[in-house]
Structures are given as structure tokens and as C-alpha cells.
Amino acid sequence: MADCAQPVSPRLGIGAAILVAALILGTLAAVALRAEPGRGLGSSDWAALRFTLIQACLSAGLSVALAIPVARALARRRFRGRRLLISLLGAPFILPVIVAILGLLTVFGRAGWFSSGLALLGLEPVQIYGLHGVVLAHVFFNLPLATRLVLQGWQEIPAERFRLAAQLGADARAMRQLLEYPMLKRIVPGALAVVFAICLSSFAVALTLGGGPRATTIELAIYQAFRFDFDLGRAALLSGLQLILTGAAALVAVRVAAGEGFGTGLDRPLQRWDGSTAAARLVDGLWIVLAAGFLLLPLSAIVLAGLPGILTLTGAVWMAALNSIMVAALSTVVLLLLALPMATAVALGRGGMIEVAGILGLAASPLVIGTGLFIVIYPIADPFALALPVTALVNAVMALPFALRILVPRARAVVGRYGRLALSLDMRGLAFVWRVLLPRMRPQIGFAAGLAAALSMGDLGVIALFADPEFATLPLQVYRLMGAYRMEAAAGAALLLLALSMAAFWILDRGGRWHAEA
């Protein structure tokens, strides 16, 4: 039996994967079963599907293509503020959509900084609305995540390998072929699949920056099916379509990404001998400056917009902030309880379906999960009373794909390297997990937990259907403030949200890496 030759059992992970799949597919089924006969998919739905696929492919391709040189530069260079920059890389991704859009438009919009700069030079303003605007926004959201994932890959190449390569006189080209390309081959497909899945379910970004109904995505069609037509059947159908597309992308990624890792080293700090030429420094520097500028300008726009409002925030907003912290904490715990066994099971060779189950969380429409849960829970319990646990659970499932991408490569390396050694010492089960696996995965756990906490803080997700009158989260308050014309206060609350998310991310991420070299 395979189980006998492993230090831990994959059963817990398989169980967690089944739970996740049941949640996502079960809610979908609940919605489908409630459906009355409606119309099937029409030509506009196929147009939406086409647009969704085009923009998701472009966005994913561009985000990851740009992330590779940026991550490489960050892996090779050591400079003041590097850690801060890497932490800030999490920021765009965790902002509520509406806040991020307004930040982006302050920089790239018709009346934005960029266009004003061009006007000073006597040039036409940039036209952001259209497919390119959608892709730009998606790159803004996902480049940081892709960079972190690829950077992680670079950091998993043991320092000894670079040392050995340098000793053997490998030049930059040889180093790329021996070390970097194989690593990218393992990391990039997963990163592509994750970003693709995120962009697949994009809705408000695509609509707003797409410039009109041409930019209709499947998620908007689901929204329309719910609100405009109350056609639950069509909503379920469209959501199923989204799940199939993402599942297919995930399967392809898992297949393509196969390949041996580099084994492990002594966890010593990385030193690179191939990047010391002036040209390499210049190129790396340029990439870092460009990426930092692209990400930090909109962020500073959000900070500037929020400063005047943050002093005027009322008790309700602070209360909501407290609620958001509670949700984030709970969903981070749930996430780790799901993700760690799943990552371990994947590392033990039970990959395939577990990884696919993990990534489905991204493709599931929050509206469908929320409605499905509502249909299931409503007959047996009061949805309001369950607002907190439901939100935490769904947020955890949504963050699961990221967590797995972060945890799996490391778990694989640890099990591969220490599994047999542990077995020969008869170290099994909890002892292996506690003494070998968890300590070695600490940086990855910190990163995954930080991302989950931040994501959960910024997510509006399913809260709408379960919203207890006394239980509003901070993102919900941002929308409520905007809905009440309080744009300045909304900007202040958004800044508070940004600060809280960043703090949660930073504390957990740093907590994981306190002894390690970032």
C-alpha cells in the first residue's frame, strides 16, 4: 500500500478536498434544483463567453509574462526597501474592486495623472476604456500575485545549486537553462491557471473598464440571470460553464507542471554570481522600478484620496472594521485547516483531483455559492445567525487556490527530501508534521495565511445574502458610504481597509519568515 511508505496519511487532505468540492458543486446543484424552466443559453451568453475567455487569456498571459522578469530581478537584487516592496506587492490584489478601480482611474483615467502629464507635453490623453483597459486592470490586480508565486519558485532553488553552477563556470545562459527554465516550467503553469481563473470570474472591473456592454463577462451574465430575469437555471448553467473552464485550465496546468524539483539545500541565503554585470543590474533595476511605479502609483492615489476622510469615520465604520478583522481571523484558520492537509496530500502524490478541487474556489461565482448556501441553510437555520461562519468558510474556499499554489511546491520538496529519512527513524503522523513538515513550511504558511487574511478582509463575497443588520463588514460599509453620496468618508474607510489588510498580510507573512531570508 502506498500509505505504508509515507510518513503521513493523505486521508485528511482527500477529505478536505471532498468537502471543498461538495461545497462548490453542492451549492451549484442547490441553485439548479430550485430552478424553474427558463431559457437556456442564448447568443449573448456565447458572446459573453468569448469575451471572458479572450480577456482572461490575455490578462493571465501578460500578468505572468511580466511577473517573470520582475520576480527574477527581485530574486537577484538586494536593496533597501526590498522587503517592504515585496509586502506591498500583496496590496492591489486585496482591495475591494471599486476602490482599486478608482485608484487606477486617478492615474490612468481620462482626467488622470498620466493623461495630465501627456497634456503638458501637448499629447492626447490615453484612452483606458476597452479591452486593453480590462487587461491593464487585471494585470494591476494579478501581476503582484504572479510575481510572488514566481519569486517563490526562485527562492525554492537551493542556494547550493547556484553556488555549484557558479563554481562550474556556468554563465548566465547556462544558469537559465540548467536552473531557471526547469523551475519556471514547474511554477508558471500553476500561476497562469490561477490568474486565468481569477480573471474568468471578473465582473465589475471588466464592465467598468471595458467601456460598455461589449465587455460582458459570464459573471455579469450570472448576475443578470439572478436579478434581471430571476432565472436560477441559467445562473446555474453559466456558473457550471465557468467551473468547467477553470477545471480544464487547472487540469492542463497540473499536467504541464509535472517535473522534478531541485531537491533541497541547507536553507542558506541565496547568492547569485550571474547577475553581477552592469547590464544585468540595469535590466533588473528597470524592471523593479517599472513594476513598483505601476503598482504603487494607484495605491498612493488611494492613500491620498482617503487621508481627508479617515478622520471623519464614524463608530459604525470602526465597528465594521472589527467585524472584518474577526471574519479574516476565522477564515484564515479555516483556510489553514483545509489547505495544509490538502497540500500534504498533493505532496504525497495524490495530486491531480485535489489540486483541481482546490482551484475551483476561484471559478465558483460568489453569487451562486451564496445563493446555494442560502437555499440549503434557509430551511434549517437562520441565515443571519450564520453570517460570520458562512462568510469565513466561503472566503477560505476562495483563498484556497492561492494557498495551495504557495504550499504545494514546498510540501513536495519537504516530503521528497525528508519522507524516507523520517520513515527510517519511524517518525510518522503528527510527529512528522510537527517536527519536520510545519517548521520547514513556515514561510509558506505565513504567506498563505497573510494572503487569506487580507483577501478575506477585502472581500464582499457572499455577505450580501447573509448580511445581518448588526453585522456589516468594512467593504460593505465602503459601498454603503458611497451609496449615501459620502465619497470622502468612503475613501477614508477604503484607506482603513487597505491599512488593515496590509497589516494582516504583513504580520502573518513576516511571522512566517522572521528567521528566513525573504
The residue ranges that bind another protein (CB under 8 A) are 34, 44, 47, 98, 101-102, 105-106, 109-111, 129, 203-204, 207-214, 220, 223-224, 226-228, 230, 314, 316, 326, 330, 371, 374-375, 378-379, 384-385, 388-389, 464-465, 467, 469, 476-477, 479-487, 490
Residue of 74, 263, 268, 266 whose CA lies nearest to 152: 74
* Beta carbon nearer to another protein, 442 or 486: 486
CB of 400 to another protein, least distance (A): 21
Helix, strand, coil % (nearest 5) of the chain? 80, 0, 20
Cα–Cα distance between 140 and 52 in angstroms, integer? 18
CB of 222 to another protein, least distance (A): 11
* Beta carbon nearer to another protein, 152 or 201: 201
CB of 455 to another protein, least distance (A): 20
Alpha-helical runs (H) found in 176-267: 181-200, 204-210, 218-227, 232-256
* Beta carbon nearer to another protein, 115 or 501: 115
Residue pointed to by grid coordinates 540595469: 282
| DSSP character string of 264-276 | ----PPP--STT-
Give me the residues paired with residue 170 across strands. none
Angle between helices 181-200 and 131-156 (to 10 degrees): 140
Contacts of 225 (CB under 8 A, 6+ apart): 38, 231, 232, 234, 235, 238
* Beta carbon nearer to another protein, 339 or 490: 490
* Beta carbon nearer to another protein, 154 or 223: 223
CB of 219 to another protein, least distance (A): 10
Residue of 270, 282, 85 whose CA lies nearest to 179: 270
CB of 305 to another protein, least distance (A): 9
Cα–Cα distance between 218 and 201 in angstroms, integer? 7
CB of 382 to another protein, least distance (A): 8
CB of 144 to another protein, least distance (A): 23
* Beta carbon nearer to another protein, 224 or 332: 224
Q: Give the angle 125-131-135 at the CA atoms, nearest 5°.
A: 90
Residue pointed to by grid coordinates 469565513: 392
* Beta carbon nearer to another protein, 28 or 102: 102
Q: Do residues 273 and 162 make contact, with C-beta atoms less than 8 angstroms apart?
A: yes
* Beta carbon nearer to another protein, 374 or 418: 374
CB of 19 to another protein, least distance (A): 20
CB of 395 to another protein, least distance (A): 15
* Beta carbon nearer to another protein, 84 or 111: 111
- Here the cell at position 392 is 469565513
CB atoms within 10 A of CB 293: 10
> Which stretches does DSSP call E strand in 91-173?
none
